[in-house]
Amino acid sequence: MNLHRFLAYTVVACWIGLTAVTVGTALQWAAASSMSEVKVQRAYNAQKEASASSASNTQLGLNLAPQDQEVMAQLRRSNDRYVAKAEAASEAMGDALNLEKIERKQFWWEFAVWGGFTLLASALLAERRDGDERASSH
């Protein structure tokens, strides 16, 4: 009987600890989700800026005289900066989306284990109660 009680209390203690871990992971998942939304928006804005810069540089390049090569070179450097910024934002977005995916997967695994501990603790405590009721009726 003491082994059964020890096992039941050990499972309940694990359940309590895993509850805190699961809630923490859920909060991390929510934070990762928010961060990925921000990164997606930044990548979208950076791509719009790069596209707008490229379009305006093309139009300006057509209207420039050959002596304005310095202005054209400056426009190209500016366009290259916008493109680099868009690429960096896209990479950050991909990393944020992958982190969110990992956090989500980790949460569901922890939640499944937590559910298993819940069922096991319920079964052990219910079995203990039945044993206590049989012992008291004799």
Q: Which segments of the chain have a pLDDT < 50?
A: none
Q: The domain that contains 77 carries what CATH number?
A: 1.10.287
Range of the domain at 101: 2-137
What is the reported pTM? 0.69
Tokens representing residue 82 in the block:
């916008």
Q: What pLDDT, on a 0 to 100 scale, did the predictor assign at position 116?
A: 93
Tell me which DSSP letter residue 18 carries. Answer: H
**Count of domains in the chain?**
1
Instruction: Give the model's pLDDT for residue 49.
Output: 85
**pLDDT for the residue 57:** 64
pLDDT tens for each residue of 2-19: 888 888 889 999 999 999
